[in-house]
């Protein structure tokens, strides 16, 4: 799948052996820490897809102009701002600039070392006059020092004396043009509709200059963001080390700062320039104060020494891999891709420190830097089970959104809180309510992540002080959004059921429906969880309960009302097809014949009007199947297989969130070869640019899903109701799979082979768990080694719609499949494509 000449296999490094300016490389070789991210742009600072320096939460706001306005529509959009770019360190030899696209390059190698966190590039090139120049540059964004980045460049003219100039710059690319621009052409209205890209912010200035100055080799720029009012400052310090003679010149203007070193280089005598950069942002602090903060960050780094910063980066990552690594035996290619995905999760979340985890992390402007429900369902599991503090920080970001979420719920005539579908500042930023605001399931997703975190970590303190507020306010919304309906059974008994109408589930190709199964199942969880924790806090910590009740206005009867609604929640089921319909009318639609849909019309959202898509049974991403995984203890194995068989052939995979979930369920129900196929699609989403938009940033949720597919899919780990269990599905050609877990304060190592499952407790208390229903305990002194008879059921091939060729809906009509063109529908019994 990958050009292995350009990207050779290495289990601990991502290596590039040929120069390229493509945007995918900028994403793949980006470095960040969850707060600050530097795209993998070359230091020459010229041609690129997007010159990007991104700071989590630094955004501009703009009025959303609807073609037709209605009450309650989102009013203010938010888009991430491209922060001033300090990556530029241009080299001139004989007064000619290095330009790798036309230089005579003799050697090239770029490496992202996942053990040290260092991005290194080595280039050897020859000038037209025959001078051989070796350049080695490296950069880190510190995990330990949240506001610090370091860039270091060494230049050696190996075979001749020559004048060398190194021009270090800070550029405001957000408001620049031409080679100084940082925003992709598409975001400026240049080409092609694609909702996954950033919106255009404004034709006016976004970053309004504040304080700027130079002091010796230190340069500072600072700005106020025009509409959002945020402030940002960047200060860069420079250290030059060489035995050659040199002079230094400076220039500073509102949108550019230069520190230029002119060196009379002797043959073989190196020139090293180290650039220490600090960024600070705020929603209320004046820019001048941020400049002072940057100065203090640089003073501290300089005092400690640059080598210490690189050493600490390696130490930090050693600890990260100690608790997070997943090892796949015998497959260095998959090992490399897995570790790259896990590093991306660290780079997106480690130092987010109370702000959200964006869909693209800090690697690009895709999705405008917004936070989605993706974080809670796809990223939080990895954080919870490997780095619980990061999970806690991410959940605190949701706590901070509660005031805005309460206002949003009231605007929609509901009680409690409604979390935004996409946001940066806590306000809903989606202009298309049908696939945005209508995704009420985000409330349950956030509550679900909260419950997982508390059960896995035992952090009841966080739950009582802050987390319970999330559960209570989200449950309140379901209680008013849903409604009761009475009916009678065949025996004449009265039955009341609880329904939720007018919502959109995870599948964005089906919108504003009634009784979406995923939404109802997750809302049921949300209601039950809120009721349970309220009672537990009241029983065990009455004083905390009183504070909670006062804080939230909790009524004495609310928990009982939530339990009643949860028990009566309507869960759709079709006796005729023997499956759970995705929603109340999903099976009434015609089936989209995906096998006859040409690749040129994929993804569907870029080639068909939404109203066309909404008329068909076709899925952008797993919906029912995701519910089967997250709430799997509420479905039988037979139900899971029947549902997977039905929905898998209808799923386009147009979303990068889909294949990981399909992999997990395929493994569980027995399609083990298909599970591996879906897994490989997931793991190479960015590394092979499978969705043709990796240039806009890393698909962080997909990277999180890769971890879940390994641990919960092939590793078979579940923790339903807080009970740890395993039912593994090791791929046939994998000798072993090993992963780490943090579980209620204990550190576990789980190792899986075809014959055994071994659970070791590396630190902490003994841990109880089950393997396929049998109970075991492991402790520090006594590992548990469990013999395995097999790796679960194995079903060849994959599900197709042909299995339903004689099936009928509950009203007696037969299914048919077609592609939405001006032609007649193709009956399922005659469709060759359904094999």
3-state secondary structure 482-539: CEEEEEECCCCCEEEEEECCCECCCCCCCCCECCCHHHHHHHHHHHHHHHHHHHHHHH
Work out the burial of residue 326: count CB atoms within 10 Å of its CB; fewer than 13 is exposed, 13-18 middle, 19 or more buried. Answer: buried
- CA of 435: how far to CAs of 88, 333, 521, 522, in Å? 40, 37, 19, 18
Coil vs helix vs strand at 774 = strand
**C-alpha closest to that of 712 among 757, 742, 667:** 667
What pairing do the DSSP bridges indicate for beta strands 271-282 and 326-328? unpaired
Rounded-to-integer distance, Cα 456 and Cα 392, Å: 12
812 — phi, psi (to 5°)?
95, -10
Return the structure tokens found at 359.
């869909």
CA nearest neighbour of 432 among 724, 195, 83, 787: 195
- In the block, which residue shows the tokens 């006859």? 596
Eight-state DSSP code of residue 362: T
Beta bridge partners of 279: 234
Residues 6+ apart with CB under 8 A from 327: 335, 736, 737, 738, 739
Instruction: Identify any residues that bridge with 826 across adjacent strands, giving them in sequence order.
Output: 817
CB of 424 closer than 8 Å to CB of 62:
no
Q: Whose CA is closest to 26, among 363, 347, 314, 354?
A: 363
How many Cβ atoms sit within 10 Å of the Cβ of residue 746?
17
CA atoms within 13 A on the CB side of 437: 20
Give CB contacts under 8 A, 24+ apart, made by 464-468: 464/537, 464/541, 464/544, 464/548, 465/544, 466/396, 466/399, 467/395, 467/399, 468/533, 468/534, 468/537, 468/548, 468/552
Q: Which entry of 44, 186, 508, 668 is annotated as an active-site residue?
A: 508
Q: How far apart are CA 116 and CA 659, in angstroms?
A: 30
Active site residue 508: yes
Query: Tell me, what DSSP letter sits at residue 199?
Result: P
Exposure string of 527-565, with b = 16+ CB inside 10 Å and e = fewer, is: bbbbbebbeebbeeeeebbeebbeebebeeebbeebbeb
> How many Cβ atoms are within 10 Å of 492's Cβ, its own excluded?
6
Pairs from 767-775 (Cβ < 8 Å, separation ≥ 24): 767/724, 767/743, 768/724, 769/723, 769/724, 769/725, 769/726, 770/723, 770/724, 770/725, 770/726, 771/725, 771/726, 771/727, 772/726, 772/727
Nearest Cα to Cα of residue 809 among 646, 690, 659: 646
Q: What's the rounded Cα separation, in Å, for the pair 139 and 149?
A: 7
3-state secondary structure of 200: coil
Contacts 24+ apart (CB under 8 A), 212-217: 212/252, 212/253, 212/254, 212/257, 213/252, 214/250, 214/251, 214/252, 214/257, 214/259, 217/248, 217/250, 217/259
Catalytic positions, written as ranges = 508
């Amino acid at each position: 799948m990958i050009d292995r000449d350009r990207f050779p296999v290495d289990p601990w490094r991502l290596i590039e052996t040929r120069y390229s300016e493509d945007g995918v490389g900028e994403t793949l070789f980006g470095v960040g820490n969850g707060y600050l991210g530097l795209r993998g742009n070359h230091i020459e600072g010229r041609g690129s897809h997007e010159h990007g320096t991104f700071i989590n939460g630094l955004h501009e706001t703009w009025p959303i102009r609807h073609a037709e306005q209605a009450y309650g529509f989102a009013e203010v959009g938010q888009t991430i701002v491209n922060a001033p770019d300090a990556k530029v360190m241009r080299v001139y030899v004989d007064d000619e600039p290095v330009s790798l696209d036309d230089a005579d390059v003799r050697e090239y190698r770029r490496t992202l070392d996942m053990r040290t966190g260092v991005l290194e590039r080595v280039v050897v090139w020859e000038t037209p006059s025959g001078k051989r120049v070796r350049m080695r540059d490296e950069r880190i964004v510190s995990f330990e020092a949240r506001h610090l980045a370091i860039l270091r460049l060494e230049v050696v003219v190996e075979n001749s004396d020559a004048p060398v100039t190194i021009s270090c710059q800070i550029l405001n690319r957000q408001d620049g043009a031409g080679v100084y621009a940082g925003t992709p052409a598409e975001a400026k209205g240049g080409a092609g509709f694609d909702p996954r890209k950033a919106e255009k912010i404004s034709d006016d200035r976004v970053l309004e200059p504040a304080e700027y100055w130079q002091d010796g080799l230190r340069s500072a720029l600072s700005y106020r963001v025009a509409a959002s009012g945020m402030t940002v400052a960047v200060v860069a310090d420079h250290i030059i080390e060489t035995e050659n003679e040199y002079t230094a010149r400076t220039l500073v203007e509102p949108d550019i700062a230069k520190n230029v070193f002119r060196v009379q280089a002797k043959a073989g005598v190196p020139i090293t320039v180290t650039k220490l950069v600090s960024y600070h942002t705020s929603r209320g602090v004046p820019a001048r104060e941020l400049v002072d903060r940057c100065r203090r960050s640089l003073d501290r780094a300089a005092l400690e020494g640059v080598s210490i910063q690189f050493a600490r980066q390696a130490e930090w990552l050693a600890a990260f891999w100690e608790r997070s690594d997943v090892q796949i035996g015998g497959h260095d290619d998959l090992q490399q891709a897995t570790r790259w995905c896990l590093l991306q999760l660290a780079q997106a979340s480690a130092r987010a420190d109370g702000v959200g985890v964006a869909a693209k992390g800090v690697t690009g402007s895709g999705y405008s830097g917004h936070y989605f429900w993706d974080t809670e369902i796809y990223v939080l599991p990895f954080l919870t089970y490997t780095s619980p503090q990061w999970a806690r920080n991410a959940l605190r970001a949701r706590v901070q959104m509660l005031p805005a979420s309460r206002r949003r719920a009231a605007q929609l005539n509901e009680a409690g809180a409604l979390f935004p579908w996409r946001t940066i500042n806590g306000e809903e930023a989606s202009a298309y309510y049908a696939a945005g605001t209508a995704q009420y399931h985000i409330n349950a997703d956030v509550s679900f992540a909260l419950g997982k975190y508390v059960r896995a970590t035992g952090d009841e303190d966080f739950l009582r002080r802050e987390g319970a507020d999330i559960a209570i306010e989200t449950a309140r919304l379901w209680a008013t959004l849903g409604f009761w309906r009475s009916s009678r059974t065949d025996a004449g008994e009265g039955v009341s059921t609880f329904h939720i109408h007018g919502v959109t589930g995870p599948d964005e190709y089906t919108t504003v429906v009634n009784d979406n199964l995923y939404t109802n199942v997750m809302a049921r969880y949300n209601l039950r969880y809120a009721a349970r924790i309220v009672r537990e806090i009241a029983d065990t910590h009455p004083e905390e309960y009183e504070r909670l009740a006062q804080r939230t206005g909790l009524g004495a009867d609310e928990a009982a009302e939530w339990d009643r609604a949860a028990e009566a929640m309507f869960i759709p089921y079709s006796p005729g097809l023997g499956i759970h319909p995705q929603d109340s009318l999903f099976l009434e639609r015609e089936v989209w014949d995906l096998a006859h849909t040409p690749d040129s019309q994929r993804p569907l959202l870029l080639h068909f009007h939404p109203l066309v898509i909404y008329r068909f049974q076709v899925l952008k991403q797993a919906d029912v199947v995701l519910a089967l995984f997250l709430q799997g203890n509420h479905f039988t194995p037979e139900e899971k297989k029947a549902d997977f068989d039905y929905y898998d052939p209808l799923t386009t995979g147009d979303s990068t969130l889909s294949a990981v979930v399909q992999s997990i369920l395929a493994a569980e129900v027995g399609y083990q070869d298909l599970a591996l196929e879906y897994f490989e699609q997931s793991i190479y989403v960015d590394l092979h640019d499978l969705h043709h938009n990796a240039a806009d940033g890393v698909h962080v949720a997909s990277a999180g899903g890769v971890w879940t597919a390994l641990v919960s899919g092939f590793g078979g780990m579940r923790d339903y109701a807080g009970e740890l269990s395993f039912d593994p599905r090791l791929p046939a050609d994998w000798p072993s799979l090993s992963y780490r877990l943090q579980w209620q304060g204990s550190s576990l190592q789980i190792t899986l082979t075809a014959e055994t499952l071994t659970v070791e407790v590396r630190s902490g208390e003994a841990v109880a768990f089950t393997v396929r229903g049998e109970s075991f305990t492991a402790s520090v002194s006594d590992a548990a080694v469990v013999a395995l008879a097999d790796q679960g059921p194995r079903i060849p091939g994959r599900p197709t719609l042909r299995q339903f060729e004689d099936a009928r809906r509950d009203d007696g009509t037969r299914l048919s499949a077609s592609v939405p063109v001006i032609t007649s529908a193709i009956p399922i019994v005659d469709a060759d494509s359904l094999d």
